[in-house]
Structure 1
Amino acid sequence: MLTQLYIENIAVIERASIDFQGGFNVLTGETGAGKSILIDSLHAVLGERTSRDLIRTGARSAFVSATFSDVEENVLEAIRELGYAAEEDGTLLLQREISAEGKSSCRINSRPATVSVLREIGAQLINIHGQHESYGLLSPESHMGYLDRMGVPQALLQAYQEAYCHMNRVKKELEGFQMDEAQKARQIDLLTYQIGELEAAQLRPGEQEELTERRDLYRNSEKIAGALQAAKLALDGEDEAEGALSAVTDAADALADAGRYLPAAASLEERLRSVQYELEDCNTEIGSLADGLEYDPEELEQIEGRLDQLYRLGLKYGGSVEEMLAFLEDCKKQLSDIELSDAHIARLTKEHQEAEAEAWRCAKALSAKRQEVAALFAKRVQEELTFLDMPNVTFLVQREEGALSPSGCDRVQFLISTNPGEPAKPLAKIASGGELSRIMLAIKTVLAGTDHIGTLIFDEIDTGISGSAAQKVGLKLREVSRTRQVICVTHLAQIASLADAHFRIKKHVEHDRTYTNVTALDHEGRKRELARIMGGTEITELLLQNAEEMLQMAKKTP
């Protein structure tokens, strides 16, 4: 549950800290005091889209933090999967700072987080219900979700989703093979030409590299011949100049003579003989290279022509021979697919029919369960509406079969009749604002056990109601608060009197600046606040007596 909400520099709130309790919490205050700002602050710290316009005039940034305790284990597990964890005592702290430049900085238990992660975690901790959600009831598109949450097994929903997606995948593949005859002929002509051109080229992997190496050899043959000749002359010598080979041989012979008298010279002679023999081998190999060096202008022209052909083919089919060969294989496969398209179409048509039949089977199973759940859902909501002072309202779930869609074959919408004998009609045509608020509360009550969200927040759910209806709404909110924390922004004394904790939001002006404070009220404070709500600006003794009576009656309410 939400144990503390801290707000800094949000609109008219310079600084406020609210310590919520378990059970039923209410927030009251005069119109314009800042009740909606608290809801905006909660939306911000839960990762919802916000605006820098929220920042208090003159401040460089705004800051909101929300502390949660007693978080359920399944929610903690979901948080751990996102890479975060609660403190050892189970406490979870969400923080968000909004700068005047519009940038956000988010943290979860002091660790940096993105707004999207904050939103994902926040959605599992708090459910905020405001007037916009009541009016969302007017859209039949939202009704299916309420019904499925009531008791449609996740396995049924998942089985249908998988069957529906498989059907669409096969359909897309089938559509890819289905083309008119003219388009098919054009595609066959193109593929046949491409295959013929590539096959005629007789491509061979590695050929391009080999030809490039051979071409470079021919282009530089004169340089190579000159270099080999220079190397051979350096070894053999020319005219009267002695070469390196002859010099090394003479040196070795000289050392051989010296070795007869000086043993150390003999070892040097052996080393020079090794050099002599190595130089002789090198000289022989240089001669072989020179003898084998040929320059064939005609072959060079052929190589240039082949490389040019490969280059032009590469511009169309891929930069390398390997890529062109891969393109060739792909063309052959496409041509084969087209030539065998009738067989493919027949196979895929059968597969699509089977997939569609399976999708319909799953949709029918899902629909049957929805019909069963719809009857229970309508009955439970009807009971709650009767308690909420709407005994003459008939609530129905209309289900019609339609084409397959991502949600199944059902078209669901809620119908009501506000007067006996009148036919039930869509909510949008009949329900008033006050009725919508109570219908939404009834639905929330019915669905209370289907999720693990620990805190429900109701923002002015009492709009458009008064008297006994308001009393019933308060009792229902108090009932819901026995299984989870409920926070309610209200302007009705009947609801506020039933709270376990009461906070007053008050605005005042100081030094030409507007400030809003949030104060936890004791018994006496609650009595005066209830009297103010009932009577306006003047608080009389009679109003105080009435307020005291309401508080005493609330204590006796289970």
Structure 2
Amino acid sequence: MLYSLHVKNLALIKEQEIEFSKGLNILTGETGAGKSVIIGSVNLALGGKADPGLIRTGEEYALVELCFGLESKEQKRLLQEMDIPIEDDDSVVIQRKIMQGRSVSKVGGESVSARQLKDISNILINIHGQNDHQELLHKKKHMDILDNYCGDKLGGLFDELSKEYHSMQEIKRQLEESDMDETSRKREQELLEFEVAEISDAGLKEGEDEELDSSYRKMVNARKISEAAYGCQALTESGDSGESASDMIGRAVRELTSVVSYDSELEGLLEQLSDVENLLGDFGHSLSDYMRGLEFNDEQFRETEDRLNTINHLKDKYGGSIESVLKSLSEKEARLEVLSDLDAHRASLEKELAAKNAVVLKLCGKISDIRKEGAAALEKKLVQALVDLNFLDVRFRIEVEESKDRVSARGYDEVSFLISTNPGEDLRPLDQIASGGELSRIMLALKTVVADKDDISTLIFDEIDAGISGKTAWKVSQKLGELSREHQIICITHLPQIAAMADTHFMIEKGLSDGRTVTSIYALDEDASVKELSRLLGGEEITDAVIENAREMRRMAEETKRG
């Protein structure tokens, strides 16, 4: 659930901390008080478009922070798979800082990408506004809803179908590539024969280029190396000048040897100096051996250079490494074998495609059967939920139409929601019948029906009351109360019928602070909640009768929740 929302320097909000509760959280306030900013700030934190114009005038940045508590093992598992930091108390903190020209999003103190943020939000929360209701008009959304309802029954089948479908597409691709005339086949075959011979004749060995490159660098720089080595030898080994390091160390050893018998402490120093003399001697032998290895002739140099040129040419042409060149050789040899008997290859592919297509269609059929079974069950539940939402004479049907001509990784079905809201009317697609208010109720009915299959614990409803009033509003209120038994609901409304059902009632209002307009939000106690309900119920003057009406509405809501 969403524990808290912290907003700073956003639009008319200076700084505000909101602590939400379980159950139904209702937000009300005068038109223009800033209700949309509250939902907008949640959207911003979850990766919504950040407009620098939202930063409060005079401030350098705006900040939105959400604190979620994980209430299911599935949520925790999914976040752990994404390596998202989770606190010891199973809470997750999402923070977004908006500055001029850029924004920074963090989860648990670690920066995340916009894509990661979207994936995280899909695990933790659902936000439903007018745009989401409109999505019900699109058939793709219908299939998503049905598949979500069918749940785990489809999960394994989708994985299997996706694997087989993409395998089938690969066979089709190979078939298309092999569709060529004789002239094209011979042209490609001749080119491949030349390239295979070019690579094969080179006799490449993995790692050979690195060894040759090292030898080549040594040969190219042989003069510099020789000069440095001879200079080093002159400085370290005994020479005619008597000024080498070896001569001086030897003289120093003799000097200490002549006096070591007079002081035992000199024995340690003499031992160290003798070790230095021995090390210098060993170094001299190693240096001499290395210098003898510098000797090579022009023929060796040319052979190394020619071999490197051959290898680099093949690497440039067939891949950036010897490993890539050899892999290319293997692929070209396989392609040559195919071209040598193209008709047999195509016949084999066609047979393989037919077998794979049969497997895919069988899986599509299984998925379609599960969808049809799920559609029948979902229809019944939805009709009852819609009746509860004051659709007095409603019929609802979910059509699952299969077609082998539109096979995909999701199957071959097309799902459509059809509805009739008046007696005597034929069932028609939602986009031909449903109004905005009806769409919002249909969405609420769907959320109620699939609530037990949904791991998302927090739902936000904005404009759920669009186009409704009276008895219908009370029905929507009851349905929200029902949904809030298993989910945390946050709902913005202007209808008293819905506000009366609140477990926690928040007031959003606009006022002045230090001569500037600010939006504030705070929780209402029972008396304040009744007063706000009275405002929603009444006109310019709130009379005792209106207040009593509000109290009665609260009592009815409490009885409904207890029932």
User: Aligned residue pairs: how many?
Assistant: 479
Change (3 A) 1:382 1:318: closer
Please give the residue correspondences for 1:146-545 in structure 2 after superposition, counting only pairs within 5 Å.
146-152=145-151, 153=153, 154-194=155-195, 203=202, 330-402=331-403, 403-510=406-513, 513-545=516-548
Contact 2:509 2:520 in 1 (8 A): yes
Contact 1:76 1:85 in 2 (8 A): no
Q: CA deviation at 1:150?
A: 1.1
| Aligned partner of residue 123 in structure 2, secondary structure | coil
- What amino acid is the match of 1:413? S
Change (3 A) 1:361 1:61: same
- What amino acid is the match of 1:136? E
Change (3 A) 1:38 1:197: closer
Q: Determine the structure 2 residue equivalent to 1:69.
A: 69
Change (3 A) 1:37 1:310: closer
Q: Determine the structure 2 residue equivalent to 1:99.
A: 99
Alignment deviations for residues 432-461 of structure 1 (CA, whole Å, 9 cap, x no partner): 000000000000101101111111111120
Alignment deviations for residues 57-113 of structure 1 (CA, whole Å, 9 cap, x no partner): 2211111122233522221222222223433333332222222232214132x4444
Q: Determine the structure 2 residue equivalent to 1:32.
A: 32
Distance 1:304 1:79 in 2: 56
Distance 2:82 2:311 in 1: 52
Q: Determine the structure 2 residue equivalent to 1:250.
A: none
Distance 2:40 2:321 in 1: 60
Moved more, 468-477 or 505-514: 505-514
Q: CA deviation at 1:556?
A: 1.9
Task: Give yes or no for the alignment of 1:124 onto 2:116.
Answer: no
Distance 2:460 2:331 in 1: 60
- What amino acid is the match of 1:471? W
- What amino acid is the match of 2:160? A
Q: CA deviation at 1:423?
A: 1.0
| Aligned partner of residue 117 in structure 2, secondary structure | helix
Change (3 A) 1:339 1:505: same
Q: CA deviation at 1:367?
A: 0.4
Moved more, 539-548 or 319-328: 319-328
Contact 1:3 1:19 in 2 (8 A): yes
Change (3 A) 1:322 1:79: closer
Distance 2:66 2:347 in 1: 60
Q: Determine the structure 2 residue equivalent to 1:235.
A: none
Moved more, 489-498 or 16-25: 16-25
Contact 2:70 2:92 in 1 (8 A): no
Q: Determine the structure 1 residue equivalent to 2:135.
A: 136
Distance 2:325 2:68 in 1: 62
Alignment deviations for residues 279-320 of structure 1 (CA, whole Å, 9 cap, x no partner): xxx9xxx9xxx9xx999xxx99x9899889959975767899
Alignment deviations for residues 188-240 of structure 1 (CA, whole Å, 9 cap, x no partner): 233345456778xx545599999xx99x99xx9xxxxxxxxxxxxxxxxxxxx
Contact 1:460 1:491 in 2 (8 A): no
Distance 2:68 2:326 in 1: 63
Identity of aligned residues (%): 40
Distance 1:473 1:305 in 2: 84
Distance 1:303 1:117 in 2: 55
Change (3 A) 1:177 1:294: closer
- What amino acid is the match of 1:434? G
Distance 2:90 2:199 in 1: 68
- What amino acid is the match of 1:65? E
Q: CA deviation at 1:119?
A: 2.9
Contact 1:51 1:102 in 2 (8 A): no
Select the structure of larger CA radius of gyration: 1
Distance 1:197 1:95 in 2: 59
Distance 2:401 2:496 in 1: 43
- What amino acid is the match of 2:371? R
| Aligned partner of residue 183 in structure 1, secondary structure | helix
- What amino acid is the match of 1:541? D
Contact 1:493 1:533 in 2 (8 A): yes
- What amino acid is the match of 2:523? A
RMSD: 3.5
Distance 2:94 2:309 in 1: 66
| Aligned partner of residue 103 in structure 1, secondary structure | strand
In structure 2, list runs of 5 or more residues that go unmatched: 223-287
Distance 1:544 1:306 in 2: 99
Contact 1:9 1:56 in 2 (8 A): yes
Moved more, 321-330 or 98-107: 321-330
- What amino acid is the match of 1:132? N
Contact 2:70 2:76 in 1 (8 A): no
Q: Determine the structure 1 residue equivalent to 2:7.
A: 7
Distance 1:197 1:2 in 2: 66
Change (3 A) 1:303 1:156: closer
Q: CA deviation at 1:425?
A: 0.8
In structure 1, list runs of 5 or more residues that go unmatched: 221-281
Contact 1:203 1:325 in 2 (8 A): no
- What amino acid is the match of 1:371? K
- What amino acid is the match of 1:345? R
Alignment deviations for residues 348-402 of structure 1 (CA, whole Å, 9 cap, x no partner): 1111111110000000011011111001111111100001000222111112112
Distance 1:294 1:135 in 2: 82
Distance 1:51 1:21 in 2: 30
- What amino acid is the match of 1:348? L
Contact 2:104 2:111 in 1 (8 A): no
| Aligned partner of residue 9 in structure 1, secondary structure | strand
Distance 1:323 1:92 in 2: 45
Distance 1:20 1:131 in 2: 23
Q: Determine the structure 2 residue equivalent to 1:251.
A: none
Change (3 A) 1:45 1:444: same
Q: CA deviation at 1:53?
A: 2.7
